[in-house]
Amino acid sequence: MHVVMVGGGVIGLVTAWRAAQRGMRVTVVDPEPGGGAARVAAGMLAAVTELHFGEETLLTLNLASAERYAAFAAELSEVSGQDVGYRACGTLAVALDADDRAHLRELHALQQRCGLTSQWLTGRECRRLEPMLAPGVRGGLRVDGDHQVDPRRLAAALLTACAAAGVVFRRARAQRLLVGGDRARGVLLADGAELACDQVVLAGGSESGRLAGVPDDVLPPVRPVKGQVLRLRMPPGPAPFLSRTVRAVVRGGQVYLVPRTDGELVVGATSEELGWDTTVTAGGVYELLRDAHELVPGLTELPLAETRAGLRPCSPDNAPLLGPTALPGLQLATGHHRNGVLLTPVTGDALAASLATGELPEVARPFTPRRFAHTAAGAPVRQELPV
């Protein structure tokens, strides 16, 4: 079977790798494979700390992927010879004022109702764990199961693993889905080449709803949600600046600090509905630094190494669209919103199974794109991809 993957971000790459491991011939179409939202993402594996009311079904998928992460990272490192920066460090979510504290208490209650492990700490206990925290911290939740990975290293290792498994890369933009005889038949590239195949997987992140030629009733309802992210450098030394991911809700906005063993400290993230805009703004940087500084005042002494903005691919219910569509020959792996890096292992496994058998494994079945079939009229207005 020949599979064409439209999109070479971490979701497209992991699907390509797993499909190639099952003996399929795979071509990844992307002008810049290894790019996409993972180049900006912090890499939190936050199944428990990013739990939201009404998203219990998504929690099941998130937990399934989190459980696979250690083995997935070890296998990928072994195959690629590259470290992916997987760190089983846990997370501390803290509250800075009474409102934040009430919000965190509600999250704790929801976690308990869902059978998740988290522990309520006083402000003093939080600072004992992380001495750089502000003295005003009012309490927090210790979540020892929410870890981190380095998304840039992950993408690089997936590129190597794909190449080793025989995946072919076409560094071009997919311009149009080719449909004939009521099924997807391949992809027209911007350079004029036509790639015929048995199955197309649309894994184009936030651009997945923009591919020309996809019939309206199967066009994924995915929109971009902008996130601005900063990268700082922590000083080397025997005592770590932060030893785990630290996060808070400050004035209603999420801020998180993800410390890596190589000294990088990632500060994220804004969440902005601004279409395709990826400008890093003074306001975005200001808000992130202001909120992060309230959390960890010493952070403003650190060198600021990088500012970037990326686009999360968001679906109407914040959950991914996985597997076969109503158009034979077209499958989706998109709409992962805030969880693309976390969901990478389970997405690769689910899509490879779906390509091989035509059926999603049970854990992924609730995420069939067919759940939006009745809302086809609500699909995003088609905008042709720029050539």
What residue ranges bind ligand GLY (CB under 6 A)? 44, 46, 50, 227, 268-269, 312, 338
Q: How far apart are CA 9 and CA 135, in angstroms?
A: 40
Query: Would you say 60 or 160 has its CB closer to ligand GLY?
Result: 60
Q: Give me the least distance between CB of 42 and ligand GLY, in Å please.
A: 6
- Residue placing its CB nearer to ligand GLY in the complex, 46 or 352: 46
Helix axes 151-164, 56-80, angle to 10 degrees: 60
**C-beta of residue 174 within 8 angstroms of C-beta of residue 212:** no
Q: Residue 27 Cβ, how far from ligand GLY at the closest point, in Å?
A: 29
245-272 as b/e, with b when 16 or more CB fall inside 10 Å?
bbbbbbeeebbbbbbbeeebbbbbbbeb
CB nearer to ligand GLY: pick between 149 and 218: 149
**Cis link prior to 282 (omega < 30° from 0)?**
no
Minimum gap (Å) between residue 224 Cβ and ligand GLY? 12
Measured from the CB atom, the residue of 40 and 167 that comes closer to ligand GLY is 40
Residue 289 one-letter amino acid: L
Please state, in angstroms and rounded to a whole number, the distance separating the CA atoms of residues 251 and 288.
Answer: 12
Report the nearest approach of ligand GLY to the CB of residue 50 (Å): 6
Residue with the shortest CB distance to ligand GLY: 338
Which CB atom, from 228 or from 354, has the smaller least distance to ligand GLY?
228
382 φψ region: left (φ > 0), alpha (ψ -120 to 50), beta (else): beta
The burial class, CB within 10 Å (0-12 / 13-18 / 19+), for 102 is exposed
Smallest separation (angstroms) from ligand GLY to the CB of 74: 23
Q: Which residues contact 144 (CB under 8 A, 6 or more apart)?
A: 90, 117, 119
Comparing CB distances to ligand GLY, the nearer of 145 and 227 is 227
User: What token pair was written down for 103?
Assistant: 């919000």
The CA distance from 112 to 107, in Å, is 9
Choice between 140 and 268, CB closer to ligand GLY: 268
In the complex, what is the shortest distance from the CB of residue 230 to ligand GLY, in angstroms, rounded to a whole number? 12
| Smallest distance from ligand GLY to CB 61, Å | 14
Q: How far is the CB of 329 from ligand GLY (least distance, A)?
A: 31
* Pick 44 or 121: Cβ nearer ligand GLY: 44
Non-local CB neighbours of 272 within 8 Å, separated by 6+ positions: 225, 226, 227, 228, 284
